[in-house]
């Protein structure tokens, strides 16, 4: 695909075909035929693009423009006075696709966010992310990673905008937590909790409360953590997934307070709930906590069994970070039993995974 060939093609196109090429060149990920309804591309122009293989089918109803063709037409699009409209229409397309999709929603929302951000529509970009974070939390309770590349943008976001988007506020708190700013993170979680309460969003409120409890745990206020998490349990009595994760955090509190019997009782509750719910991530977390209790009690052989099971389950679920953590704990327990070869193998595996 030489530049000359593309230039020759460009000369023979009419205005509608030229605009279709320019607009579609802005798409960084595959798109469906329904895109023509958003971009005002006629069926005739679409069929022509497909027929001459300027856009190619990737299966499952998805299409993509060849990267070299897209690069050529993007240079024209960047100079067009219509580019802001095209970005906005592209953002709307991806937002709608995200709302309709149950599997690929994350990438659709992120593309929508990107295009709104390109034209400085910060409120819309924020609303898109707020909706995405809500979807992620509903799909997986208290997920460990959500939007790894957006920390700088999120921390610089105007307070007036973020206050209208409580899931985004919650995410800002998580980013602050990651950089060890527990005090400001806790403020974000408390503000989010208040907004969720005002919106009568019980699920959002319980998630915010969980993170308030987590911050109290990091501040070593273990009794305060337990009180907050008991409140969470009351709010999520019909949500087994949230209960399992909340019980797990309470296990850690009781261990810090030296109350091993209470820790064991809560760990048993969490494991039972996870098995009943077929919540495999929750089960892996519960097994890890069971291992921590046995390790705390110096029952290293029993701890070894739990850590081994949790490591296998985390790895099967694709949770590499937690699998690595389980293997590291497993190796430590084997060291205490003078199983030095097994310990070395598992510690090396933990480092390799991480």
Mean pLDDT to the nearest integer, 291-305: 96
**In the predicted model, is pLDDT for residue 84 greater than 90?**
yes
**In the predicted model, is pLDDT for residue 135 greater than 90?**
yes
Q: What are phi and psi of 57, to 5 degrees?
A: -75, 140
Would you place residue 286 in the very low, low, confident or very high pLDDT band (cuts 50, 70, 90)?
Answer: very high
Tokens of residue 321, six digits: 């970070």
**In the predicted model, is pLDDT for residue 148 greater than 70?**
yes
Tokens of residue 138, six digits: 């509903």
Let me know if 9 is exposed, middle or buried by CB neighbors in 10 A (0-12, 13-18, 19+).
middle
pLDDT in tens, 238-247: 999 999 999 9
* Strand (E) or helix (H) holding 56: strand 55-59
- pLDDT > 90 in the chain, percent: 77
Distance between start and end Cα atoms, the chain: 42
Q: What are phi and psi of 129, to 5 degrees?
A: -65, -40
CA–CA gap between residue 65 and residue 63 (Å, rounded): 7
Q: Quick one: DSSP state of residue 29?
A: S
CA–CA gap between residue 330 and residue 301 (Å, rounded): 10
Tokens of residue 80, six digits: 């067009």
CA–CA gap between residue 267 and residue 273 (Å, rounded): 10
The three-state secondary structure class of 149 is coil
Mean pLDDT to the nearest integer, 285-292: 96
- The pLDDT, as a whole number, for residue 204 is 97
Tokens of residue 351, six digits: 């480092």
Would you place residue 145 in the very low, low, confident or very high pLDDT band (cuts 50, 70, 90)?
Answer: low
Would you place residue 119 in the very low, low, confident or very high pLDDT band (cuts 50, 70, 90)?
Answer: very high
CA–CA gap between residue 161 and residue 131 (Å, rounded): 14
Residue entry with tokens 């349990």: 233
CB 172 within 8 A of CB 237: no
- The pLDDT, as a whole number, for residue 22 is 92
pLDDT in tens, 201-232: 999 999 999 999 999 999 999 999 999 999 99
Cα–Cα distance list, 331 to 248, 300, 317, 344, 352 (Å): 22, 10, 21, 7, 14
CA–CA gap between residue 232 and residue 252 (Å, rounded): 16
The three-state secondary structure class of 319 is coil
CA–CA gap between residue 155 and residue 349 (Å, rounded): 35
- The pLDDT, as a whole number, for residue 149 is 80
**In the predicted model, is pLDDT for residue 117 greater than 80?**
yes
CA–CA gap between residue 207 and residue 167 (Å, rounded): 10
User: What is the chain's mean pLDDT, rounded?
Assistant: 93
14's CB contacts (< 8 A; 6+ apart) are none
Let me know if 53 is exposed, middle or buried by CB neighbors in 10 A (0-12, 13-18, 19+).
exposed
CB 323 within 8 A of CB 304: no
Cα–Cα distance list, 294 to 297, 302, 341 (Å): 5, 6, 22
**In the predicted model, is pLDDT for residue 1 greater than 60?**
no
- The pLDDT, as a whole number, for residue 3 is 67
Question: What sections of 83-235 are H helices per DSSP?
Answer: 83-100, 105-118, 122-139, 151-155, 159-162, 166-178, 182-198, 202-218, 222-235
Indicate the pTM of the whole model: 0.86
Q: What's the gap between Cα 116 and its chain centre?
A: 20
């Amino acid at each position: 695909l030489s530049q000359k060939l593309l230039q020759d093609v460009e000369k023979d196109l009419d205005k509608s075909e030229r605009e279709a090429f320019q607009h579609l060149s802005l798409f960084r990920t595959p798109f469906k035929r329904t895109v023509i309804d958003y971009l005002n591309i006629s069926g005739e122009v679409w069929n022509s693009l497909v027929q001459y293989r300027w856009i190619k089918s990737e299966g499952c109803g998805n299409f993509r423009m060849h990267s070299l063709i897209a690069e050529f037409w993007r240079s024209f699009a960047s100079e067009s006075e219509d580019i802001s409209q095209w970005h906005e229409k592209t953002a709307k397309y991806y937002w709608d696709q995200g709302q309709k999709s149950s599997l690929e929603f994350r990438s659709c929302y992120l593309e929508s966010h990107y295009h709104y951000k390109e034209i400085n529509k910060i409120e819309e970009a924020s609303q898109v992310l707020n909706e995405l974070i809500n979807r992620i939390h509903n799909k997986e309770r208290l997920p460990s990673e959500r939007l790894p590349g957006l920390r700088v943008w999120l921390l610089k976001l105007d307070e007036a905008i973020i206050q209208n988007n409580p899931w985004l506020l919650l995410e800002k708190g998580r980013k602050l937590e990651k950089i060890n700013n527990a005090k400001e993170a806790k403020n974000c979680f408390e503000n989010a909790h208040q907004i969720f309460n005002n919106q009568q969003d019980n699920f959002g409120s319980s998630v915010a409360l969980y993170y308030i409890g987590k911050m109290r745990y990091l501040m070593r206020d273990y009794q305060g953590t337990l009180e907050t998490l008991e409140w969470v349990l009351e709010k999520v009595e019909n949500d087994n997934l949230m209960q399992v994760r909340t019980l797990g955090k309470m296990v850690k509190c009781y261990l810090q307070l030296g109350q091993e019997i209470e820790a064991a009782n809560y760990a048993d509750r969490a494991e039972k709930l996870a098995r009943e719910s077929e919540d495999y991530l929750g089960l892996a977390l519960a097994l890890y906590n069971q291992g921590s209790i046995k390790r705390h009690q110096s029952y290293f052989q029993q701890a070894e069994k739990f850590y081994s099971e949790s490591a296998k389950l985390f790895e099967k679920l694709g949770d590499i970070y937690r699998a690595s953590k389980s293997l590291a704990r497993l190796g430590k327990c084997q060291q205490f039993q003078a199983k030095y070869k097994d310990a070395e193998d598992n510690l090396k595996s933990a480092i390799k995974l991480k």
